[in-house]
Chain A
Amino acid sequence: MEKEIAGSMSTSATDNYLTHSRGLKSWLFTLDHKRIGVMYLVSIMTALAVGGFLAMLIRVELAAPGPTIMGNNSLLGSDPAAGKDIYNQIFTLHGAVMIFLFIIPGVPAALGNFVLPVMLGAKDVAFPRLNLVSYYLWVIGAAFFLLVLVSGGLDTGWTLYAPYSTSTDTRVLSAGLGVFILGFSSIFTGLNFIATVHTLRPPGMTWFKMPLFVWALYATAVIQVLATPVLGITVLLLAAELLFKVGIFDPALGGDPVLFQHFFWFYSHPAVYIMILPAMGIISETISVFSRKHIFGYKFIALSSVAIALLGFLVWGHHMFISGQSPLASMIFSALTFSVSIPSAIKVFNWLATMYKGSIQLDTPMCYALSFILLFGIGGLTGLFLGALSVDVILHDTYFVVAHFHYTMMGGTLVAFLAGLHYWWPKITGRMFNNRLGQIAALMVFLSFNLTFFPQFLLGTRGMPRRYFDYSDLSKLDSSFTLLNLHSSVGAFLLGGAMVLTLSYLVHSLFRGRPAPANPWGGNSLEWHCSSPPPHDNFASPPAVGDPYDFTGLEYDPDLGGYVPRRRSVPAPETQPVP
């Protein structure tokens, strides 16, 4: 590998990480963080497509009360009981695929892997081999999920609650093994990022000169390293329970099902911040760049990421207010839960303050960033309902919760992922996508997302429990349940359409897109200082480090279609392109 790299070093100046070496093997065994990032990107987007397809099936089933496509045909269950089992397996796999295969690795392992070392000015991550191992662990974990899918499914819900999971006939053991392996994939990514940030910063790159995306990834990595092992031991104990009935969670043997929930949420609540923190990092980057303004309150944003990461460990019990947890513990967890809302609020206000007196251009990444603020705003504010003890009693395990976490996970993380994907797309592929189509798709995503999930808040407050195959009992009393569900299903299809549109113009840009300039958006963090796509080693010599949010040294070059360093040293008003 090393020799091969050394041999091809002497190619032309257009040499980049994509053209650096050729052939399938040069990709599959690559140690280059950029190529691993691209492999992750392709893989997790495949997982997103699978999870999205399953979501469509769920929404079709729920479009009307009673069996619609499941339980009345030979393909998806010939009788209602079979249809219900299939529905249960589909929502389980939708959750498991989206969470373990897409959202958790989504931003850190795919975009983070590509961008973090370049942003820092490093040649690679600290442990390139471990990075590749972590990718293949993801692949093996995904293979286990596939095995589950073809060999009997899984119907426990992604939460794997005992004792249901120890009494079902479906493939809990294989799924558990998959989750265990994916957990280690995530741990290794986190470990790698922490070590990279600590040791591979070039001279001048002090902690408070790091871009906020790096801060967010660092905080995420801390959670990955500290929380994910508990997921490992949880599924291991679940496996022990299944394998030889050890009796830790099974009440029939003296175990305690509520203990399982403590174990599960000790990981899975911090995991929520694994999903959302890197997304917030992307938003901090894009808001600042597209407003041409220095990010407001840099230190507050940076430190609030760390605060969220640490406080996030202390709130897991808010998933258990009505699960038999003691009122004392519920009180403690509720109080701590509200403390996490403060750093999140700080971030939102700082983003808005960044836009103040800026020069805002609504390119596609900015469109996504703004919809992130609104959608995450709704997601965060509805979290207040669920954190308040008495209100949680009626909302727990209803569609209100479903809507809440889709607003944060999907309206938050997925939308930010799309913002980041579009923002770094020219850097990753070296091609520009069609900005107009991008803006249209972003608008479609925003509108259809709200159409899909806002009705679910109402379904929830009015009493529709989650994980319901059939809501006939409810719709008989109140026809609005049918109408709201139908809204949601229509929205889901529009959302699916927007995603297909996004995929098609992005793929189109790979072949027909205009070659990207080094700095199409005018960012000042280090990844915009190297060519698009970056060369194999990122930087020949350690780059000069400045303030990543100081844009005064850049000006737009219409010939190039991108930003270049300002030629005169005298500060002059920036001339901006009219969108």
Chain B
Amino acid sequence: MSEPTSSPTQGEPAAGRGSGPHVVPLAVLVAVFAALIALTYLTVAATHYDLGDWNLAIAMGIASVKALLVALYFMHLRYDHPLFALIFAAGLVFVFLFISLTLLDTLEYQSDTDPWADTLTRSGEPQTPMPLRSGSRTLNTNPKRKRGELSAG
């Protein structure tokens, strides 16, 4: 392909940066493929070792390296106009914000929740889940409403 000549919009090229679309050499594609397969093997192998919290971090780290390789080479981001990378990154940033702010909140109030507890599902009645200040008798009695007395008091 030749140089783009009359770009219709100034400052923004009509077709990529510099000379036309970049053709990725076959050797690069195959090398990326080999790296991806190797990383897949590595991530499976890593689960055989108990590294505590690091297991998740390693799995996510390897997945991110793989994703980066796919995006840079298979998806041409390395050769294309940076705007595309910016759009892609914007999506990731907002997903990150969404997950992190939501997670921050749900972790914070987790101690108040009690899912799966029979006391809260449809099949059961809440049974005074927290210790009350005084002893609890199961007597259900009550006077009729005495509005007069209250307003007087």
Please list the residues of chain A having a beta carbon within 8 angstroms of any beta carbon in chain B.
198-207, 226, 230, 251-256, 258-259, 262, 266, 313-314, 317, 324-329, 332
Contact = CB atoms under 8 A, between A and B. Distances in A.
B104 A313 contact: no
Q: Which 4 interchain pairs have the tightest Cβ spacing?
A: A326-B108, A329-B105, A254-B115, A252-B121
Contact of B109 (A204, A205, A324): A324
22 contacts: A198-B12, A201-B8, A203-B9, A203-B10, A205-B9, A206-B11, A226-B90, A226-B91, A252-B120, A252-B122, A254-B115, A254-B116, A258-B105, A258-B109, A259-B102, A262-B102, A262-B105, A313-B97, A317-B101, A317-B105, A327-B108, A329-B101
Given A325-B109, A326-B108, 20 more contacts: A199-B9, A201-B8, A201-B9, A203-B10, A206-B11, A226-B90, A230-B98, A251-B115, A252-B120, A256-B113, A258-B106, A262-B102, A262-B106, A266-B98, A266-B102, A314-B101, A326-B104, A326-B109, A329-B105, A329-B108
A275 B15 CA distance: 33
B13 to A, nearest CB: 10
Contact of B106 (A202, A230, A259, A266): A259
A199 B14 contact: yes
Nearest to A197: B9
A258 B115 CA distance: 13
A356 B9 CA distance: 35
Given A258-B109, A259-B106, A317-B105, A203 B90 contact: no
Given A256-B106, A262-B105, A325-B105, A226 B9 contact: no
B51 interface: no
B149 to A, nearest CB: 20
A255 B106 CA distance: 12
B54 interface: no
Contacts of A230: 98
Given A200-B8, A203-B10, A251-B120, A313 B106 contact: no
Contact of A203 (B8, B91, B120): B8
A200 B10 CA distance: 11
Interface in B96-153: 97-98, 101-102, 104-106, 108-109, 112-113, 115-116, 120-122
A262 B98 CA distance: 9
A332 B115 contact: no
Contacts, number: 73
Contact of A328 (B9, B104, B113): B104
B98 to A, nearest CB: 5
Interface string B76-107: 00000001000000110010011001101110
B109 A332 contact: no
A266 to B, nearest CB: 5
A63 to B, nearest CB: 30
A313 B106 CA distance: 18
A254 B120 CA distance: 10
A325 B109 CA distance: 7
Contacts of B106: 256, 258-259, 262
A181 B116 CA distance: 34
A273 to B, nearest CB: 14
A317 B9 CA distance: 40
A328 B97 contact: no
B91 to A, nearest CB: 7
Contacts of A200: 8-9
A408 to B, nearest CB: 23
A253 B91 CA distance: 31
A564 B59 CA distance: 67
A118 to B, nearest CB: 17
A324 B114 CA distance: 13
Contacts of B10: 203-204, 206
Contacts of A255: 115
A199 B13 CA distance: 9
A202 B83 CA distance: 19
A324 B101 contact: no
A46 B122 CA distance: 43
A255 B9 CA distance: 51
Interface in B1-33: 8-12, 14
A177 B91 CA distance: 24
Contacts of B120: 251-252
A203 B115 CA distance: 61
A555 to B, nearest CB: 31
A388 to B, nearest CB: 19
Nearest to A255: B115
Contacts of B105: 258, 262, 317, 325-326, 328-329
A252 B117 CA distance: 8
A48 B102 CA distance: 35
Contacts of B14: 199
Contacts of A254: 115-116
Given A206-B11, A252-B122, A254-B116, A313 B94 contact: yes
B94 A226 contact: yes
B125 to A, nearest CB: 13
A259 B104 CA distance: 12
B33 to A, nearest CB: 30
A329 B12 contact: no
A158 B132 CA distance: 39
A422 B37 CA distance: 61
A9 to B, nearest CB: 22
Contacts of B116: 254
Interface string B27-46: 00000000000000000000
Contact of A256 (B8, B90, B115, B122): B115
A131 B106 CA distance: 39
A325 B121 CA distance: 21
A549 to B, nearest CB: 20
B8 A202 contact: yes
Nearest to B91: A226
Contacts of A317: 101, 105
A332 B101 contact: yes
